[in-house]
Chain A
Amino acid sequence: GAGVSQTPSNKVTEKGKYVELRCDPISGHTALYWYRQSLGQGPEFLIYFQGTGAADDSGLPNDRFFAVRPEGSVSTLKIQRTERGDSAVYLCASSTGLAGVGTQYFGPGTRLTVL
Chain B
Amino acid sequence: AQKVTQAQTEISVVEKEDVTLDCVYETRDTTYYLFWYKQPPSGELVFLIRRNSFDEQNEISGRYSWNFQKSTSSFNFTITASQVVDSAVYFCALTGLNYGGSQGNLIFGKGTKLSVKP
Residues on A close to B: CB < 8 A?
31, 33, 35, 40-45, 48, 50, 55-56, 58-59, 89, 91, 93, 95, 98-109
List which B43-59 residues lie within 8 A (CB) of chain A.
Answer: 43-47, 50
Q: Give, as a whole number of angstroms, the nearest-CB distance from A34 to chain B.
A: 9
Residues of A within 8 Å of B4, CB to CB, are 42
List which B80-118 residues lie within 8 A (CB) of chain A.
Answer: 91, 93, 95-97, 101-111
Q: Tell me, yes or no, whether B64 is within 8 Å of chain A by CB.
A: no
Given A89-B43, A107-B44, 10 more A-B residue pairs with CB atoms under 8 Å apart are A33-B105, A42-B4, A43-B91, A48-B103, A48-B105, A50-B103, A100-B97, A100-B101, A103-B50, A104-B47
Tally of contacts, chain A with chain B, CB under 8 A:
73
Q: 12 pairs across A/B with beta carbons < 8 Å?
A: A31-B104, A42-B108, A42-B109, A42-B110, A93-B45, A93-B106, A99-B104, A100-B33, A100-B95, A100-B96, A102-B104, A103-B35
Interface size class of B (residues with CB under 8 A): 20 to 34
Task: Give the docked Cα–Cα distance between A6 and B105 (Å).
Answer: 19
